[in-house]
Structure 1
């Protein structure tokens, strides 16, 4: 793991104007090595990445690691796709002063860039800017939602039986739409604040629907085999 951390350090190094092209080439090589490590040994890569975000030696190091993630998302998005829930959990915890020793204001800019890259690259991740809510679909069929203002997990929504392909917030943030292509279902959830959620934190607002998933509304659809592939 220490060798991987050294490669991360070189890959995230900030180059000052006028520094030699040799250093720039070294950083480029380190970034290519990082991509290769992520491909060949994903568990080791994710363990090191999560540790370097949450246990960074400084806010600058934490921010640099997040920028490295943003670089990887742009270059090789499929490499990180199976580990999106773990990645999202790490970046949310980095904003929680109770989980790290770093000041939130020193890492929030890098975290914002990283979240933006994730949202634009993966349909299974949704973000509502005004409410600062993040939703992350999982391969198990659950959707995990976070409040970035407080850096806390809000709900774990377990409505799908197959992987979540996409999710999206309504413009006012009071509804969350989740989609599973394999299951052929669209589910609509009430996720706005309610009186019940005040007294039972972590519990979804009452949905009032009749679908087996527990969702507010459910829509069935069919995707032909060729289109699904």
Structure 2
């Protein structure tokens, strides 16, 4: 299975072009559009790290959130806990590596005969992801140390993504020590609730979401608008 994780948006030609390359090079392999509205590389990485845990070993994640396309950043493949991630060396894959029990970085030195300066997702990353999916490792690569993760937190106490409903996902994995504590978001105290219907309409709360992340929501409302939130806003549990 190949899973697309991009910031392309659901409309336009880009997803279709990448999917065509995948299906031509890895016929018979399922291609899933997992996320097409990812934020900037660093927060997107924490969303990716949470999502990938829902999938079995052997899956390939084609990760294209690449504002520096055409620049001097490397093309990386990360093998983490049996899953494969293909994408740019811009921090997008670092959270996955920071949370992984075992990992291996490969620098992709292969280049196609024709490589667009602005669409490495189609021309470089997609062909490599397809080959990995069919277990073809004949393309030019080197095992490398990878980026320095010493200062890279396994969890990120910021908002990393807004879903369609305006709910704010954070980069914090839920831990038992958080139970029932008050979360401070934008100088607002947000209490815990197990589910939406546990609070009155219009009330902000935080809960343990289906990805095991701390998420901020408003029952029958939008947390992003009601609390004036933005990607990168910090969150902190009260003592």
| TM-score normalised to structure 1 length | 0.26
| TM-score normalised to structure 2 length | 0.26
- The higher relative CO (CA closer than 8 Å, separation ≥ 6) is in 2
